[in-house]
Structure 1
Amino acid sequence: MTTGETLLVLAGSVLGSLLAGVLMSSSGASVISVGIAALIGFDVLGGAVCNGTQTTRAWYHRPGQNWVHHVAFVAPHLAYVILVATLMRGSSFDGRYALIFSVGLVGASAVILCVSDRLKTPVAFSAYLVVLSSITIGVGSTRAMGWFEPALLLKLLLGHLLPNGIPPTKAV
């Protein structure tokens, strides 16, 4: 990773963590929720910047990488969806939010991974808009975490799954 890329990723991570923590704190949330929001902000916002770098794209789309590797990267991020649904969307678990977000993310990822290389980018952008709209219209964005849904989808669907400029892997 170049020095410039490293500095951008670190800045995105630190600023993302601060932004997420301050927004959550100003909403009157518990210290635990503030800490979790700050950690999620560090990874999701910093990770979105990281996934936009040529170095990271080249790494995740190098020869030998396939759909299994991409799914293995996307799947653990569902833990953030569950954390947000459990701790930050009211007094009890928001199952509808978790379901809409998780099914949308997994389904969109599968479609992006299955289409031809020529269609990956427009399909990914379309999927991003459909999933984000489904969450926003279906259950609404998360109080004090309005950045979370668009940023996680950006990090994974438009950042991680698209090679952009790197010779793409074959579609599944």
Structure 2
Amino acid sequence: MNHTRPPASGPAAARGPRTGPPAPRTGPLAHTLRGLATVLVGPDPSPGETAATLVSAAAGTALAVGACLAAGLPAAATAVTGVVALDFFGGAAATSTAAAKRRYHAPGRTLRHHLGFVALHVQPFALALFVPGFDWWTATALYLLALGSAAAVGLAPLPLRPPVAFCATATGSAAALLLLPVPDPLSWLAPVMLVKLLLGHMLPGAARGAAERGAHGTEEGRPGGEA
């Protein structure tokens, strides 16, 4: 025999059934950490995106500073190199995340915005100012290489941007390593800078590509397209 309970009445019934556990409360520390992650990575980053950014930044900075110390560079040169490495290695991971794509490739963002972001990366000139053996013309060549390559990626049709970005990163890194007189402790600079700015920042990511395909249709959805 089935025994059924009478329907509930009173304040408990007025509130309705509980649909799940109460939302956890976040304290000031959690709120601060979330805000810091948003600044470093992008809006509402996942824990994995934040962790990858922090690991990349910490490991890259340790490698760069260790190379400076092994080469006996002055303290100012080592400190500036460490700050640049923190930004470039951390940014190489951060700019590839979906959180960063939501920030830098949101609706209304144009090529002018993207190139403006690249143009702000004047770190090679700071290194030329402090690091012995890193010449101003080398810094200028690297800066113009990054800016010109970013323009080439941004002007390419959307489906061609990934191969153009990879081509520019690979050939630009090789050219910088083979042709530019860069001190050994800064040999990482050109590849990591181009990875951050071209493969990370300039590529819109899966979300933008999906939006473009949804707006214009896909080959599978067109008459005569692939089955």
> Is the CA contact (8 Å cut-off) linking 1:88 and 1:143 kept in structure 2?
no
**Equivalent-residue separation in structure 2 for 1:127 and 1:14 (angstroms):** 26
* 1:57 Cα deviation after fit: 1.8
Alignment of 1:109-120 (within 5 A): 109-120=150-161
* 1:89 Cα deviation after fit: 4.8
Runs of 4+ in 1 over 3 A off after TM superposition: none
* Equivalent residue number for residue 61 of structure 1: 105
Is residue 12 of structure 1 aligned with residue 53 of structure 2?
Answer: no
Is residue 148 of structure 1 aligned with residue 189 of structure 2?
Answer: yes
> Is the CA contact (8 Å cut-off) linking 2:146 and 2:194 kept in structure 1?
yes
**Equivalent-residue separation in structure 2 for 1:165 and 1:75 (angstroms):** 25
**Equivalent-residue separation in structure 2 for 1:130 and 1:22 (angstroms):** 27
> Is the CA contact (8 Å cut-off) linking 2:77 and 2:127 kept in structure 1?
no
Is residue 139 of structure 1 aligned with residue 180 of structure 2?
Answer: yes
> Is the CA contact (8 Å cut-off) linking 2:57 and 2:86 kept in structure 1?
yes
Matching residue within 49, 52, 59 for 2:96: 52
Matching residue within 187, 203, 209 for 1:162: 203
Relative contact order higher in (CA < 8 Å, ≥ 6 apart): 1
**Equivalent-residue separation in structure 1 for 2:87 and 2:107 (angstroms):** 26
> Is the CA contact (8 Å cut-off) linking 2:92 and 2:200 kept in structure 1?
yes
Give the secondary-structure state (helix, strand or coil) at the position aligned to 1:144: helix
1:54-74 deviation line (CA, Å, top 9, x unaligned): 211232111111112111211
* Equivalent residue number for residue 76 of structure 2: 32
Max Rg structure: 2
**Structure 1 residue runs without a partner (length 5+):** none
* 1:138 Cα deviation after fit: 1.8
**Structure 2 residue runs without a partner (length 5+):** 1-44, 213-227
More helix by share: 1
* 1:133 Cα deviation after fit: 2.3
**Equivalent-residue separation in structure 2 for 1:163 and 1:85 (angstroms):** 31
What is the aligned-residue RMSD (CA, Å)?
Answer: 1.8
**Equivalent-residue separation in structure 2 for 1:156 and 1:47 (angstroms):** 8
> Is the CA contact (8 Å cut-off) linking 1:48 and 1:151 kept in structure 2?
yes
